[in-house]
Every structure is written in structure tokens, then in C-alpha cells.
Chains A and B, each alone.
Chain A
């Protein structure tokens, strides 16, 4: 989230799309209702009339996977309205804080010119050769002067400027086209446009709340780009009640991402080293952006301080300038190779991966194409799982349909403690790191993962010291100074925060970190989370994550002394965009920050410099150019979002001849289902009573009583066609597999009427599997092994199935 949960109450309009907060983030809904009590409009866009939709002022049905067309239509409405009613929009924000004024290379062509493709595509329309399914992006670049500073036309009239490119691109996203693609009635769609465009006024804000309904598509990242473009045109980023807000689905998925348990990043979102980085200097030169623009703060220029401080945290005295601070202890990935979830299982299936460690995760239920992923595990030599329960992943060798005797994998299942049986911090969607405590003992010999990691590390260190091995020093020199018995979680938290190694004191913020080896920090983003005792009145013992001051003095619900949030307790990021060029808030009634003439009041500003009219810098400090990107040339499939159909779709793309995203990787072309065999759109989703892969709720008797089994939701119209009654057992079948679940026949789904065509959509809840108190078929036996072109997140939310009554 750019903003935070409590901030939702400040919104004048709330657009919920790709999410169902009433069901899946119930606590957030209280803040939505607070906003409504103050006059805010709630708009819910979803294929299904959800519990969130039940409280909405406007509900707009939208076929799964058509966000780019829907939001594209809204963007067109706003761009047209800016021409007609410029006073209703914050044109200063658009001109000064976004790249609307940038001039683009005149060789650039977009989908309006190239039938759905952008210039630079290496293949043909609907290319099937994987090596050609990519772009040469050189024609997408913006023009710069001799110093590398972007050229701009602040009148926004130059035909090559971003603003004019947007207008040409989005001219095709008419209400009729939105209807043809999304199935949304034109009048409902225009109601949404009108209601949400009303927050384009400088003093009004709207927030977009989204979740996996947005991301889990072959163009999920471009869905989010669409939201960003809309929010920037309406001047909503950085403001109270605004922002772009991902509703994260796990208690610490924010923290686990911050600590970068992902192949492509190191803690604090530092880029992972590749085989091209022959030295630390090479790595720094490749990964540290530069800017010659005096108005751009270019925050990532500090990358050298963060990587050296990370290496000092990990390798201590063994990290010296002479050995590049231990840079070569780190693994280097093959440049350009993808090691993410789908690739991992494909490579496991190919026998590359021989051992697997799984910490509190259940990919045998949660991963796409579950039949493929489960059988890939048969190839493992060994598997280590830590969990509170037996899980489908740990039990893969006794899944239905296999003989355990045929599976040669050695499996270890370590009993873990629950959240309230150990001490530590978790980071919520708001970026708040909150400390929690041991309140109970666990069962039997269960232990926390902190301990398991420590005893495995100690044993490995012993083995490598005794026997040696390749790059053994990466293990034997690793710091692990958390005491000799159970590791001290506070010592770990302090290491994450970081130290001034010349004084031995905890650093007060990432501003204190250096690139010369005199500071350490396990994650620069968390610097300031734990300070020296007695130095901060709000946290006498130094642990700012444990703060519990529930008094809000900001007037806009920042709760700045409740826990601690990254970065440096800034509750709303990019907040320098919430003020005008003189530092006065766009919305005087809900100021995030305000320039007093000598300093800022309110939230922690994105840097302390004066406002722009007094020599300050651009507000979007994480971008090298300092402005936010209406036009994003870093994306895999184009600098502006273009509508493509899901990999499996019931219709031909009404927008162009290019059916699918031209840049995502197709693993198994023969696993694509056809409309003739699988005529209905299907999406997987969640219910309030269960959670993710199910191990934390399907073993909970109360919750199992509330939601005892998986089901398929479908419209009365489709049920009539198929002769299915509410409560019948049905088979849902895709090209990858089939599941037997209960039919829920409901008015919540309605067939989409799209430009004369009727399209049916169904939905299957996915929490179930073959292990535990409550068992049932996994919806992921249906989902495909394809992912987003930028992130490789699987396309769980739109694929094709057939449904029939079970015998």
C-alpha cells in the first residue's frame, strides 16, 4: 500500500476492483464504512456480486481479465473530460508531478498503429516462437538533452508528448468497446466514470483497493499500471484518502517480500547479483541509477551504502574492502533466467531440483496446475517441510492416485509453533511492522522457525568446518550471533536495523548507512525500527515496532506512534505530491504534510527539502527521473497498458488481432483449452472462513463447520442450461484436470451480455486439498501454468472450464 488501512476513511470515492475486502479483508471494511458515513462513494467492479458489492453505491459487473479495458475506458473518460472541464482536474499535478510532458522518440508506434502491438516486437502477430515473444524497447524511450535529462513540453500539446500519446492510445477504449470486452452495461460503466472522475478535483481524493483479482493474469502488472495511470491523472497518489493500495493476503507477506525471499531481489529490494557482475563495483554500476537532473533526488543512488551494509550484516569482519565485502559469497543468477514459482516446478519436473525446503507454505494446494506440480515433487531426492500441521505438500507421496512405494523422496516434517507461541514482528499491508509476543506454549516438541533455522545453520557450519566444500566460507563466515541456545529474536531484529560499527550503536535511520564498511544493516528499509534504549521517548526500550500509542494526533488517522512503518515511519509515501509547488496541501482539510516556511509538519515527508518553488526536488524520489510514470517504458509488453485476452478466453479480442499478451512465456501450448470443449470462464477465489492453502483453517473445527467443503458458484441461467440444481455435485473440468465440488446456484453471477454475445462465468473456491480435518478437491487442478510477462504470477483468475452435473 502507498497509504494504509485507516487512511481509507479519508477517501471521497473508493474503487474496489480485483478484491473483495468485505470477505477477505474484513477489518478494512470498517474504514470503508467510515468513509461512506462521511459521504464517500463506494464502487465495486467484479465478475460477481460479492459481499463488498452488497454495500456499494455502484456495482459494475466485469468479465474476469478485462481490467485494462475497463480502466482504459475510465482513463478515456477522464482525458476527454479534462478537455471539456479542465477546472475539475489538478492540471498542475499532471504537468509537474507526472511524465505527461515528456517527449517520446518519434519512431514510437503503439497498438492503434500496429494492430495491438507496440513498435519493436521481435515476432509476428500472435507469435508462437518463444524466443521472439519479446520487444526491443529502444523506440519506447523518451528524449533527453545532452545531460540525460528528459525533454518536456509542459503545455502538453506536442504530438510526441506522453499526454498526447495517452489520448491517442485510449481513444479506442470507448464505452461500446468496454461493453464488448468487459460485458459491463454502458450506462453502468458511465455511472462509474462519473462517480470516480469526481475525485479529479484537487481537493478530492479517491483510493483504489485491489488484490489478487488484479495481479493473477498474464498481464497483471499492466492491470496495476492502468490503476496507476488513472490515479495519477486524478492527482490521487501521495494524498490522504488516495493512493494505490494492494490488499495483501498473508499476515507477513509484506515482510517476507521486504526481506526478499524471491529469486530476483535481496533484502530491501536490492537487485540480485547476476553472472555479469564480476565485482562489487560491476554490480553497483549496473544496479545504481544515475541522474544529472538537480531536481531529482534519485533515491536509489544510495544503493552502494545499502548493499555494503547488507554484506557487513551477513559477513561481519570477514567482509572487507579487500574481498569486495564478501560479494562473491553471494550466488549469482544466470542473467535473464527466471527462477520463479512456475519455473521452479518446471525445472523440478525436469530433474534439475533435487532437494526442496518449504517453510510454512503449501504449494501443493496453492500452486497452479496442481497435478503437474504434485507429480514434479515425485522427482525430489528429499523434501523438508516446517508447519503446524500435516499439509498436502508434506503428504504429496500419499496423495490420491499414487502408490507411495513408487516415490523415493525422503521427507522431513518439522513441527512449528503458531503466531502466538513465539515472539517477533510482522508487517501488514500498511507497511506497519508490529511486534507480537509469546502468549502460550506450543504442543509437544514444536519449535519456532527461528530455532529451526539456527540449528540447521549450526549443523551445516560444523559440517563445512570439518569437511570443507565449494564456497564453504560463504557458510562458515556467515554471522549468526544470536546467543548459544534459542536464538535471541531481539538480536536478529537489531541486526536487521543495523549498527554503526565504529561505535557499536544501532543506526538511527538509513541516512546513517555508509558504503565504506563502517555500518551494517540487514535491511536498509527497516533501519530505525529498533533504536538504542533511552534515545526515543515513544519507545523507551528501543523497539519501535512494539509501540502501542493508539492516540492519533494527525487528524487524518496516521497513528504515527502505533508500531513503526517503513520507510522511517512515513505513513503515506510519495507525500510530497500531496502539496502544491509552494508546499500547501491540495486538500487543506486533510493535509498529509504542509510547509511552514522553515520546515514540514504532518507525516514524515519524502525528504526534508523545501517545496519545489523554493528549490526542492521532484516528489517521486524512487524514480531516477523524479516524476511518476503515466508512460512506463520498463514494462515487458509495452509502455502503456493494452487490452489482451487471457491465455484461455471465450472470445476473440475485440480490440485488435493480437489475442494474448505478446510477451509472456508459454510453457505448454498443448495445455491450452479451446472454447468448443471448455466454453465457460472460471476464476478461483477465497471465502472469509478459510485461508490460502487451507492448513490454518481446514484443521479448525469451528471454521470447518462454517464452510465445510469446496464449491462452484454459477448463475441461475447457466444452471438451467446445464440441468444443475443448487447443492448438486458437479464436475468442473479444464484442459489440465477436473474437480468434483458442490454447485452453488446464485444470483450473484449473471451471464455477461457483450455486444450481442452471451458469456457465462463460474467460480471455484480453492482452499481445499487431500489432507487435514476437512478435505476436498483443489481448484488449482484446473489452473494453467502460465504467468504474467513481468512477474510470472500465475493466471489463476481467468481460464476456461466446462461444468456438468456429476453422476
Chain B
């Protein structure tokens, strides 16, 4: 009898987190899990797609509420996913280290003033105000409405934009839309390099 992971969870009658941490596809693990009692703590299970290469592998993310924050407990390959079928490469296996627990993650807006020698933490409102002002000033001072031949061109050559294949589709779409509305033509990203 072949069971996929979800059938197994149903069959075992233990559809809560404890089993999640084991390799449910291995017969040995299946035998073991039948004797493990359900954990007291509920561990949420979410579904994600790997952020690394273009294979589009599926991953299951287990997380729990801790100190008011939803924290990652474990990430493993999604056995139902047709591409990776539960497997993961070294990067996929280490995906949980991208989480908020990683001390290298940025948690505040950083700002470096002209000629400055270090980063300074700033508030979002202050930064967005200043960023929008820079965009507007640079755009408006370097805007070509009509070119030398009298063609209406409505562009600025003074602002470049990079990114991004690391963004979701909906983010890419809005970035494409916003940059075009601003008249940006130096528009590039990972696909070229």
C-alpha cells in the first residue's frame, strides 16, 4: 500500500505537528511515529515556494506564535510538490535560516548621509518622505518632455532602476508600473545578467 504524506497523516489519525518533524515517507519513520503521542503544542503548517533557483520547489513551513510573533519552527520539502517531490538541496534545507531569527537580517531602515562613515537607523516615515523628494527633484530637473526633433518622449535619463527577480509577481508588476509612470527608461534586472 502506497501512502502519500497526507494520506498517512489521515490514516494515522494524528494530523498534528509532531509527525511533521520526521521523514514520514520512510517506512522506518512511519513505524516509529505510530507510537509517538501528539505534541501538546500546535504547530502551524504553511506552504511556500523556494526563493532560490527557478525550479519552483514546494516547501512546508511549520511555525508557532511566540512572544506575539509567528516564528519558524521547521521548513522541509513538500512531498506533494511535482517538481521536488519532498526533496531539497542544500539551500532549501537551510531555508529556515533566512528567518527573523537570523541576526544578519535588517530590522530597521538604515540611512547613510553624503560623506557619512556609518549607517544610522531611521523611521519609515522620514525615509519615505526623503526618498520621494529625491525621486521628484531628480526626475523633474532631468526630464525630457520633447527631444531635439520635437518628438514627445516624456522620459528621465537621470534615474536608473534594478530589480527584481527576488520579488513576487505582484511586486514586479507594480515596480514595472511605477517606474514607467515616472518616465524611467534605464530599467534593468537580473534577467540581463
**In-complex Cβ contact of B48 among A360, A437, A699, A796 (8 A):** A437
Among A252, A334, A496, A557, the one with the most B-chain Cβ atoms within 10 Å of its Cβ is: A252
The total of interchain contacts (Cβ-Cβ below 8 angstroms) comes to 491
A329 and B171 contacting across the interface, CB-CB below 8 Å:
no
**In-complex Cβ contact of A341 among B95, B115, B181, B193 (8 A):** B193
Chain B 42-57 against A: per-residue CB contact (8 Å), 1 yes, 0 no? 0010111111111111
Task: List A contacts of B87 (CB < 8 A).
Answer: 26-27, 30
B166 and A252 contacting across the interface, CB-CB below 8 Å:
yes
A792 to B171, CA, bound (A): 25
A256 and B108 contacting across the interface, CB-CB below 8 Å:
no
A793 to B193, CA, bound (A): 6
A384 to B136, CA, bound (A): 14
**In-complex Cβ contact of A256 among B132, B149, B165 (8 A):** B165
- A609 contacts the other chain (Cβ, under 8 Å)? no
A255-B71 contact, Cβ under 8 Å, with A278-B151, A387-B106: no
B54 and A248 contacting across the interface, CB-CB below 8 Å:
yes
Count of chain A residues near B, Cβ 8 A: 165
A424-B169 contact, Cβ under 8 Å, with A314-B181, A332-B151, A360-B164: yes
- A207 contacts the other chain (Cβ, under 8 Å)? no
A240 → chain B, closest Cβ, in Å?
15
- A205 contacts the other chain (Cβ, under 8 Å)? no
Chain A 672-711 against B: per-residue CB contact (8 Å), 1 yes, 0 no? 0000000000000000111110001101111100100000
- B94 contacts the other chain (Cβ, under 8 Å)? yes
Residue of A nearest to B93 (CB): A702
B59 → chain A, closest Cβ, in Å?
8
Residue of B nearest to A310 (CB): B177
Count of chain B residues near A, Cβ 8 A: 117
B47 and A436 contacting across the interface, CB-CB below 8 Å:
yes
B108 and A415 contacting across the interface, CB-CB below 8 Å:
yes
B173 and A355 contacting across the interface, CB-CB below 8 Å:
no
A388 and B98 contacting across the interface, CB-CB below 8 Å:
yes
A413 and B119 contacting across the interface, CB-CB below 8 Å:
yes
Task: List B contacts of A457 (CB < 8 A).
Answer: 174, 178
Task: Report the stretch among B17-25, B27-35, B139-147 that lies at the interface.
Answer: B139-147
Task: List B contacts of A255 (CB < 8 A).
Answer: 165, 168-169, 172
A332 and B152 contacting across the interface, CB-CB below 8 Å:
yes
CB under 8 Å from chain B, chain A span 419-463: 419-422, 424-430, 432-434, 436-450, 453-457, 459-460, 462-463
- B102 contacts the other chain (Cβ, under 8 Å)? yes
Among B97, B160, B191, the one with the most A-chain Cβ atoms within 10 Å of its Cβ is: B160
Task: List A contacts of B171 (CB < 8 A).
Answer: 359, 424, 448-450, 453
Task: List A contacts of B119 (CB < 8 A).
Answer: 390, 413
CB under 8 Å from chain B, chain A span 528-569: 548, 550, 552, 557, 559, 562
- A404 contacts the other chain (Cβ, under 8 Å)? yes
- B39 contacts the other chain (Cβ, under 8 Å)? no
**In-complex Cβ contact of A253 among B50, B134, B191 (8 A):** B191
- A25 contacts the other chain (Cβ, under 8 Å)? yes
Task: List A contacts of B192 (CB < 8 A).
Answer: 262, 340-341, 791-793
A258 to B89, CA, bound (A): 27
- A644 contacts the other chain (Cβ, under 8 Å)? no
B189 and A262 contacting across the interface, CB-CB below 8 Å:
yes
A357 and B108 contacting across the interface, CB-CB below 8 Å:
no
- A251 contacts the other chain (Cβ, under 8 Å)? yes
Task: List A contacts of B16 (CB < 8 A).
Answer: none
Provide 7 A-B residue pairs closer than 8 Å at the C-beta atoms, listed in order of the A residue: A250-B52, A355-B160, A358-B162, A420-B75, A453-B175, A463-B132, A487-B174
Give 8 A-B pairs besides A397-B116, A439-B61, A791-B192 with Cβ atoms closer than 8 angstroms: A27-B55, A333-B185, A352-B157, A361-B189, A390-B110, A398-B117, A404-B115, A414-B127
